[in-house]
Structure 1
Amino acid sequence: MQHIVIIPGNGSGDVTRANWYGWAKRKFDQLPDVTCDLRNMPDPVVARESIWIPFMRDDMRCGEETIIVGHSSGAEAAMRFAEKYPVKGIIVVSACVSDLGDANERASGYYSRPWEWEKIKANTQFRVQFGSTDDPFIPWSEQEQVANGLGSDLHKYDDKGHFMNTAFPQLIDVVKKKLNT
C-alpha cells in the first residue's frame, strides 16, 4: 500500500475544504493500493515545527514509503521532516527558505537554522517542486533557492499564484508517475 500525506499551509478552518487539499485527497483515494492522509493540523496558525514534525511522524505515520505533499508552510514542514527521516519523496508547492520578515512565520521555527539540503536529498528518492512566478506571498528568488537546494524536478508556472485553486490536476499526474517508479 502506497502512503501519501498532504500537509497544508498554515491557517484555520477545515483543510478538506481549503484550496485543492480535499479534492486531491479524493483523487488519491481513488487510486489502487493508495491511502491518503489529510488532517487539520495541531497549531494550525503558527504551524510550529516542534509540533508538526512529531505529529507527521507519530500520528500521520510518515515513513520510508510515504510521499509527502506539502503546500506553503506544509512545504517547509516536508523539507524539515526529510532532513531527519527517510521518506519515499517530497512534493513541495509554493516553498520558501526564509520567514520573509513575517513574525508569525519566524515563530514557526522552520527558518531558525540553515537548510540541510544534502540530508534531504539522502533521505528522499525524489523531490518535486511546483512554483509560480506570480506567487503573491513567495518571491520567485526564494522558490529558486529551494529548487537549487533540493535539486528538485521543478514545475515552473507564471499564472498559478500561491496554488490556492480548488483543483490541481498537475499534482495528480506527477504523483501517479512517482507511484509507478
Structure 2
Amino acid sequence: MVLIHGNAGASVEGIWFPYLKRELEALGVEVVAETFPDPIKGRMRYWLPYLSDVVRPDERTVIVGHSSGALAAFRYAEKAPLLGTFAVAGHHHDCGFELERRSGFFDTPWDWDAVRAHQSFIEQFHSKDDPWVPFDVAEELHELTGSTFHAMDGMGHFGSYDQQMDTFPELLEAIRRRLSGTHTEDR
C-alpha cells in the first residue's frame, strides 16, 4: 500500500494518513508513507520519477492518493500496472487553480483507457462540500474512470488546510473490503 499526499505543503504526517498507516499495519499490510519531493507545488516532473524509481509500485500495489496524490496515481497507471487506486478528493483538471495548472499533470491528455486497464479497481471518495474540487468534477472523474464512487457529506477536502480530520474509517473499511475480496458497489 502506498499513501500519497496532496500538494500545497501536505504530507503523510498530517490529516488521516497516520491513522490509516497505523490501522493498515495492524492488519499486516506493508505501507509506504513518505512525503514526496516538491510537496508545495506538487509537480509531476518530480512526483512521477519518485513514485516509479524510489517507491516502485507494481501490480500488487494499492495507492491511496489524496487530491494531487490521486493525480500521481492516475498518471502512473497510464504506463504501469497497479492493483488499484483509492482517490480521495481526486480530480482530472486544474479546477481553476494556478498551482494545479503549473503542476504538469494536465499538460497532456489523459489516457483513461490505460488508467482503467492497468488496475483491477478504482474507488473514489468525494464530499459534496469540497471547497477545492467541485462535486461535478468528481462525478466527471467517476464517469472517466468507472470508479466505485463514495459520495459523502460534510467532509470538505478530507482534512486539508484548516479542517481537522484525523481518522477516516470509511476509507479504511473500503480498503479492508478490497484486500479481503468482499467488495460491494456503492454507486
User: So what's the TM-score if we normalise by structure 1?
Assistant: 0.93
Corresponding residue of 2:162:
none
Q: 1:83 to 1:13 in 2, by over 3 A?
A: closer
Instruction: Return the match for 1:62 from 49, 57, 61.
Output: 57
2 CA distance for matches of 1:103 and 1:11? Answer: 12
Larger proportion of strand? 1
Corresponding residue of 1:15:
12
Code of the residue aligned with 1:148 in structure 2: it is E
Contact 1:93 1:129 in 2 (8 A): yes
Structure 1 stretches of at least 4 aligned residues deviating more than 2 Å after TM superposition: 11-15
Deviation per residue, 1:86-111 (Å, 9 max, x gap): 00000100011211222211111111
Aligned pairs for 1:1-80 (under 5 A) are 4-12=1-9, 14-16=11-13, 18-32=14-28, 34-80=29-75
User: So what's the TM-score if we normalise by structure 2?
Assistant: 0.90
TM-fit CA distance, 1:14: 4.9
TM-fit CA distance, 1:12: 2.3
**SS in structure 1 at match of 2:102:** helix
Q: 1:50 to 1:14 in 2, by over 3 A?
A: closer
The runs of 5 or more residues in structure 2 that have no matched partner are 160-164, 182-187
Deviates more, 1:67-76 or 1:97-106: 97-106
Contact 1:94 1:132 in 2 (8 A): yes
Q: 1:23 to 1:84 in 2, by over 3 A?
A: same
Corresponding residue of 1:88:
83
Corresponding residue of 1:169:
169
TM-fit CA distance, 1:11: 2.7
Code of the residue aligned with 2:174 in structure 1: it is V
Cα-Cα RMSD: 1.1
The runs of 5 or more residues in structure 1 that have no matched partner are none
1 CA distance for matches of 2:98 and 2:150? Answer: 29
Contact 1:69 1:91 in 2 (8 A): yes
